[in-house]
Amino acid sequence: MTTPSSTEELLDAVQACLEQLRWEGEPAFGRVARFDQLDLAVAVEELQATADRLCLLVYEGDRYETLHAGRQIHVRRTALVSLLMADRQVANRTEAVFGGLGLPGVVALKDLVLGLAPGPMPPGSGLPKPVTGRLFPGVYVRPVSATPLPHEGRPDALVGRGVWLVRLELVGGQLDFDLGQQPIV
């Protein structure tokens, strides 16, 4: 597998990893969906209305680091992604967060995503791997933070729903430019 040439390829790879994750032989998430940052209100509605185990992938943009070396400019890209993960146990938020009989809980789902078995994802293996670690040659997924997401508004809106926000950086995708004969001063 080569380094992705577009943001969409990179997000497709992360989404595929999330869809392949398993918990006790079943898909870890009943639904994995992608949203952009402007659709956060729609994403929160999804948290309240859909599958018991849910992961929403939110693309937040890119950050670039530029390094000058002689006549070369090296630009390294970091894509910023957040995951809104949820599990549900009707009328029992504690089990939705920490798990119970037949239920992983959102904390276990977070741990699964962040890499109970860290390492590179073998290309074409079809084996579920954690999202963190090496995604493509030259592209790594680095966790930034994982926190419970407090719910404000209607007190009954997320009854029995545990929600965590996991922030990731997808680091890699270097571009190199030659500026000609003159050294950069």
Tens of pLDDT, residue by residue over 161-174, are 788 889 998 887 77
* 115 falls within a domain: yes
- The CATH number linked to 138 is 3.30.2000.10
* For the chain, percent of residues with pLDDT exceeding 90: 6
Number of domains observed in the structure of the chain: 1
Q: Which of 31, 93, 79 is nearest to 56 (CA)?
A: 31
Q: Scanning the structure block, which residue is given the tokens 């992938």?
A: 57
- Determine, yes or no, domain membership for 185: no
Least confident of 27-31, 49-53, 75-79, 131-135: 131-135
Query: Strand 31-36 and strand 54-69: pairing?
Result: parallel
Decide if 149 is inside a domain.
Answer: yes
Q: Is residue 167 part of a domain?
A: yes
- Phi and psi at 94, nearest 5°, equal -60, -45
User: What's 53's DSSP letter?
Assistant: S
What does pTM read for this prediction? 0.76
Element spanning 101, H or E: none
Tens of pLDDT, residue by residue over 71-94, are 788 888 888 999 988 887 667 777
Sign for the pseudo-dihedral over CA of 111, 145, 77, 16? positive
Q: Output the pLDDT for position 167.
A: 92
**156: domain range?**
7-178
Higher pLDDT, 1 or 137: 137
Instruction: Establish if 59 belongs to a structural domain.
Output: yes
